[in-house]
């Protein structure tokens, strides 16, 4: 079921032999991972498992000790425009003097390239993306005035204007309200239904089976990856989290069956 060999088309993301180290600490060890096109994949693992580093190193934001990343069969560096990134909400300063629509417009900078300024077309695009995340009325608002959920929607909108085919999200549901979480899931599922690929760092084990088709369990090394109904089980969770988990997917599934 891994799709390897069966699929003539290259996967959305293929990570081979990826190893990353900060100083003398190995953060990711020899990761081989394939993300099939049109799938919605959760990256799950304990704190310090290297989830954020995986997302960043795929995009070359942290130096790789070893490893190759290809997107749709070509090296990531040649496919930047195919990939859009939603960083952790807390990674930027929300007191920065800018408006919501201008923040979303940053997603168009890649297509514009060096020096060229965004114009009317980019403005319209940004407004369109804001409408999709239901934030149109906040377009002119200062980003410092947004709630956590609204900040996350703005980040998602910024990724949407990139009109990429692969979405990498770092903890898109952290500290957001329930309505926003539902809204984001709906948008992501729409993307996947439209053939896009979504890879998201995810924390809440309770919602994994509900939101995602596939999962990559990580703890420095790759513990398991595949369809949620096949690899999201207590054996793999124990491997990823050590003894520190009290979540048993089978029980939940059994309860649901009853």
Per CB under 8 A, 80 contacts another protein: yes
Crossing angle of helices 148-160 and 178-193, in 10° steps, is 20
Per CB under 8 A, 112 contacts another protein: yes
| Per-residue binding letters, 41-60, with another protein (x by CB under 8 A) | ---------------x--xx
Per CB under 8 A, 142 contacts another protein: yes
CB of 121 to another protein, least distance (A): 15
Per CB under 8 A, 245 contacts another protein: no
Token pair of 248 as six digits: 């048993």
Per CB under 8 A, 120 contacts another protein: no
The pairs formed by 225-234 with CB atoms below 8 angstroms and a separation of 24 or more are 225/33, 225/34, 226/1, 226/2, 227/1, 228/42, 230/1, 232/208
- Position of tokens 């949407």? 160
Beta carbons of 177 and 149 less than 8 angstroms apart: yes
Per CB under 8 A, 87 contacts another protein: yes
Per CB under 8 A, 179 contacts another protein: no
Alpha helix locations (H) across the chain?
Answer: 51-58, 100-105, 109-112, 120-132, 148-160, 178-193, 208-211, 228-231, 234-241, 249-257
**Site stretch for another protein (CB under 8 A), options 64-72, 107-115, 176-184, 213-221:** 107-115
Per CB under 8 A, 117 contacts another protein: yes
Per CB under 8 A, 147 contacts another protein: no
**Site stretch for another protein (CB under 8 A), options 37-45, 101-109, 146-154, 216-224:** 101-109
CA–CA distance, 71 with 69 (Å, rounded to integer): 7
Binding site for another protein (CB under 8 A): 56, 59-61, 80, 83-85, 87, 91-93, 96-99, 103, 106, 109-110, 112, 114-115, 117-118, 142, 144, 158, 162
């Amino acid at each position: 079921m891994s799709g390897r060999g069966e699929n003539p088309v290259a996967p959305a993301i293929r990570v081979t032999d990826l190893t990353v180290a900060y100083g003398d600490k190995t953060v990711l060890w020899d990761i081989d991972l394939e993300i099939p096109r049109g799938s919605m994949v959760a990256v799950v693992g304990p704190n310090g498992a290297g989830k954020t580093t995986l997302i960043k190193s795929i995009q070359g934001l942290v130096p790789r000790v070893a490893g190759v990343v290809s997107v749709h069969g070509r090296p990531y560096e040649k496919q930047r425009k195919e990939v859009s990134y939603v960083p952790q909400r807390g990674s930027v300063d929300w007191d920065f003097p800018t408006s919501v629509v201008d923040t979303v417009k940053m997603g168009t900078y890649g297509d514009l390239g060096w020096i060229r300024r965004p114009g009317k077309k980019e403005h319209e695009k940004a407004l369109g993306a804001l409408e999709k995340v239901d934030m149109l009325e906040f377009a002119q608002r200062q980003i410092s005035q947004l709630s956590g959920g609204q900040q996350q929607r703005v980040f998602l909108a910024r990724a949407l204007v990139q009109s990429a085919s692969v979405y990498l999200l770092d903890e898109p549901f952290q500290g957001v309200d329930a309505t926003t979480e539902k809204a984001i899931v709906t948008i992501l599922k729409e993307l996947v239904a439209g053939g896009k690929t979504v890879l998201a760092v995810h924390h809440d084990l309770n919602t994994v089976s509900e939101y995602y088709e596939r999962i990559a369990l990580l703890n420095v090394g790759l513990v398991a990856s595949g369809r949620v109904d096949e690899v999201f089980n207590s054996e793999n969770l124990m491997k990823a989290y050590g003894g520190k988990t009290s979540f048993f997917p089978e029980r939940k599934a059994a309860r649901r069956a009853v």
